[in-house]
Amino acid sequence: MKNNIKHIVIAGSSGGHILPAIKYLNELSHYCSSDQILFITNEVGQDYLHLIEYDKKNVIQLSSIDKITFIFKVIQKIGKILLYNKVTILGFGGFITVPILYFAKITNIFFFKGHHINFHEQNFVYGLANKFNYLVAHNVFTSFPNNHFKAKEIFVGNFFTNLDKNLDNLDPKSINILLIGGSAGSLELNKFLSSQLLKIESAIIKKLKFYIQVPKKYQEEVSAEYKNLNVDINFFTFNASLNFKGFDLIISRSGSGSLHEILYNNNNVYFIPHLHSRDGHQTLNLNYFKIHGYSLKNFELPHSKKISKEYFNSLINPFSMQKILCYLTR
């Protein structure tokens, strides 16, 4: 790896962290040479590297299972970069970001390197890693206008949007229903759906067509939930380019990326937040929209025109990434 790195982007743990990071990386590659960009991720990131659109020779994958060993690996892998280069760092969440941001802070204090340390928070409430990262960050870019920590926060909106690509086989004669459970899928959501289908008359069932996102390794287990139901089901693996337009109903978790896109497209939706998500961020994401006038009766079927397109454009901002780039590439 050439030692002329100027930008380090870090993300791990889940698609909710990694996908916005990759979208940012692809945009950043238009502002500087790919030789100057380093992407650091963990084993989860392996499944998303194909989405990087530039020459991805500067990618480091670190195992974060053993946290103590991981810290030493960080020092070993990027120690020279942080000691000999002045870099701009942007973390997108996950434990993987913490030792790297703190190591950069240490080199700033003891070696006067002048690294610019930043992170992006996708959810309404800070994740555990970002609570630690706040202590050493210069800027915090947020998807929600939180103002939890006003001194450092810069509201940019949510830029993980895919407004161009649909599934190819949507049937205009059917009622098309999409079930998504985040990047890792959700067996719990599928159990919920199958239990509800048992209550529906067979004449109605025949009009329904389901598109269910689930990882390949769980498809057999999920299929078993529907084996006694005469239902038209299409399974597909996580599709980062999926556009939610065209679906008559969506059943979804309420992670930040899915939540913003679904509401932006004004789909009929049944949100089922992950109640055991750390810090309850999925419920808090939904509550934000609820208190801002969006009709969310028990988080079911929001179908309201109360929130204008202008409001959503401020949350899903086509220029939000440019805002970050203006701060970090000037």
Secondary structure of residue 154 in the 3-state scheme: strand
- The predicted model scores a pTM of 0.86
Cβ(91)–Cβ(100) below 8 Å: yes
Same domain, 198 and 258: yes
Distance of CA 13 to the CA centre of its chain: 10
Is pLDDT at 302 greater than 50 in this prediction?
A: no
Task: Specify if 183 maps to a domain.
Answer: yes
Same domain, 67 and 146: yes
Task: Specify if 166 maps to a domain.
Answer: no
CATH number at residue 290: 3.40.50.2000
Cβ(38)–Cβ(58) below 8 Å: yes
pLDDT value, residue 241? 66
pLDDT tens sequence across 83-110: 999 999 999 999 899 999 999 999 999 9
Task: Specify if 215 maps to a domain.
Answer: yes
Same domain, 259 and 122: no
Same domain, 121 and 208: no
Cβ(43)–Cβ(26) below 8 Å: no
Same domain, 188 and 108: no
pLDDT tens sequence across 157-201: 886 555 555 666 688 889 999 988 766 667 778 888 888 888 888
Same domain, 282 and 293: yes
Secondary structure of residue 85 in the 3-state scheme: coil
Task: Specify if 114 maps to a domain.
Answer: yes
Share of residues in the chain with pLDDT > 70 (%) = 83
Same domain, 84 and 200: no
For the chain, how many structural domains are there in total? 2
Task: Specify if 266 maps to a domain.
Answer: yes
Same domain, 48 and 147: yes
Same domain, 155 and 12: yes
Task: Specify if 2 maps to a domain.
Answer: no
Same domain, 258 and 235: yes
pLDDT value, residue 192? 80
Same domain, 99 and 144: yes
Count CB atoms within 10 A of the CB of residue 1: 14
Q: Domain range spanning residue 185? A: 175-315
Which residues make Cβ contacts (< 8 Å) with residue 309, sequence separation at least 6?
A: none
Is pLDDT at 52 greater than 70 in this prediction?
A: yes
Task: Specify if 169 maps to a domain.
Answer: no
Stated as kind and residue range, the H or E segment containing 321 is helix 320-329
Q: Which of 66 and 62 is assigned the larger pLDDT?
A: 62
Same domain, 304 and 322: no
Task: Specify if 306 maps to a domain.
Answer: yes
| Mean model confidence pLDDT for the chain | 82
Number of Cα atoms under 13 Å in the Cβ half of residue 203: 0
